[in-house]
Amino acid sequence: MAGPLTSPAKRRIRDSGTVAVSRPIADTKKPHGDESQAVSAPKNLVLMWVGRLIVTVVVLGVWQLVYVKKVFNPVVTGSPVEVAKFLVDNLVTSTKLWGSVGVTLWTTLIAFVVGSGLGIGCGLLFARSPKLEHFTNPFFTGFNSVPRIALAPLFIVWFGLSQVSSILVGVSLTFFILLSSTMAGVASLERDATTLLDTLGATERQRFFRATLPAAVPTLFSGLRLGLVYALLGVVSGEIIGAPAGLGEKLSYFAGSFETDAVFGVLIVLGVIGAVIQGVMTLAERKLLRWQ
């Protein structure tokens, strides 16, 4: 398989002659199709959420029942009530877990900024100099083929049990994602646009800031979104393998001491962090890419 460096540029398909997108036509069989749809849309949504709530309650109920009836070893299964208690004890009545949340967030942010900075920088450099890209391609492809989590023990040997190891795992993941999306983004400028800029006599600077960069933004942004998710993944993995603090370290510690409720609690916190990160990126994307 070709590495991400050679992956073809994501080509946006130029909109062809079609003038307007046909609108979905209201159901013509029913004379009052419009009205009934207007009423039923929010109703469906309510039903959907009621359904989701029921599923959640049932799953949690069965889980609690398994715990109370001791169907399996209660130490192994944990219970939703105990998980909730853990979360309240550590996040609301005390701030014990907030420190770990802070450490993981900071570490993720550093890994993200460093990794995407290096990735975008390298991507732009390679876009400018295809020869350099060609020369270094096997090295990067080779490095990218190593499962990066497997590097964590090496980082620990080099940097000890510190956040540096976690940061490096995050960086090594984020870097390649941004490298390939930057190169794909830069390549997404259409040929016609290049010809137009040629005939206008645009300088390198004008080309880059007025065409190449804005054309690359959509692809770059999906890279950043993925990069942030992978920075979190890398950092938490690094923390699990060996770090003095952070949610990953807590996860590893709680699992080691069979505190299943706490493990679930930390997992929920990580899930929420992931969801918030995605939400923020979606919002920023919508604001930045209104023209799409």
Partner 1 sequence: MGNIVSDSGNKSVGIAIDSVTHRFGPGQLTLDNVSLNVEPGEFVAIVGPSGCGKTTLLNLVAGLLPTQEGTITLANEQPRPGHPLVGYMLARDALFGWRTVRRNVELGAEIRGQDEALREIRAVELIRQVGLAGYEDAYPKALSHGMRQRAALARTFCLDVAVLLMDEPFGALDAQTKLQLEDLLLDLWTRERRTVLFVTHDLNEALVLADRVVVMGRNPGTIRLVVQVTLPRPREARMLQSDPHFHDLSATIWRELEGGMGPWLDR
Binding site for partner 1 (CB under 8 A): 14-20, 190, 192-193, 195-202, 206, 210-211, 214-215, 217, 290-292
Residue 201 or 256 with smaller CB distance to partner 1: 201
Measured CA to CA, the distance from residue 5 to residue 182 in angstroms comes to 10
Residue 68 or 196 with smaller CB distance to partner 1: 196
Residue 22 Cβ vs partner 1, minimum distance, rounded to whole Å: 13
Measured CA to CA, the distance from residue 81 to residue 89 in angstroms comes to 12
Measured CA to CA, the distance from residue 67 to residue 160 in angstroms comes to 40
Residue 109 or 217 with smaller CB distance to partner 1: 217
Residue 151 or 215 with smaller CB distance to partner 1: 215
Residue 285 Cβ vs partner 1, minimum distance, rounded to whole Å: 14
- Using a 10 angstrom Cβ sphere, with 0-12 exposed, 13-18 middle and 19 or more buried, the burial of residue 230 is buried
Residue 223 Cβ vs partner 1, minimum distance, rounded to whole Å: 17
Q: Which residues make Cβ contacts (< 8 Å) with residue 104, sequence separation at least 6?
A: 232, 235, 236, 239, 246, 247, 248, 273
Terminal CA-to-CA distance of the chain, rounded, Å? Answer: 32
Residue 288 Cβ vs partner 1, minimum distance, rounded to whole Å: 10
Measured CA to CA, the distance from residue 223 to residue 69 in angstroms comes to 48
Q: What H or E segment, with its residue span, contains residue 270?
A: helix 260-288
State the Cα angle at 49 between 43 and 54, rounded to 5°: 125
Residue 157 Cβ vs partner 1, minimum distance, rounded to whole Å: 47
Residue 193 or 268 with smaller CB distance to partner 1: 193
Amino acid at 125: L
Residue 149 or 217 with smaller CB distance to partner 1: 217
Q: Which residues make Cβ contacts (< 8 Å) with residue 79, sequence separation at least 6?
A: 63, 64, 67, 68, 261
Residue 270 Cβ vs partner 1, minimum distance, rounded to whole Å: 35
Residue 131 Cβ vs partner 1, minimum distance, rounded to whole Å: 23
Residue 18 or 28 with smaller CB distance to partner 1: 18
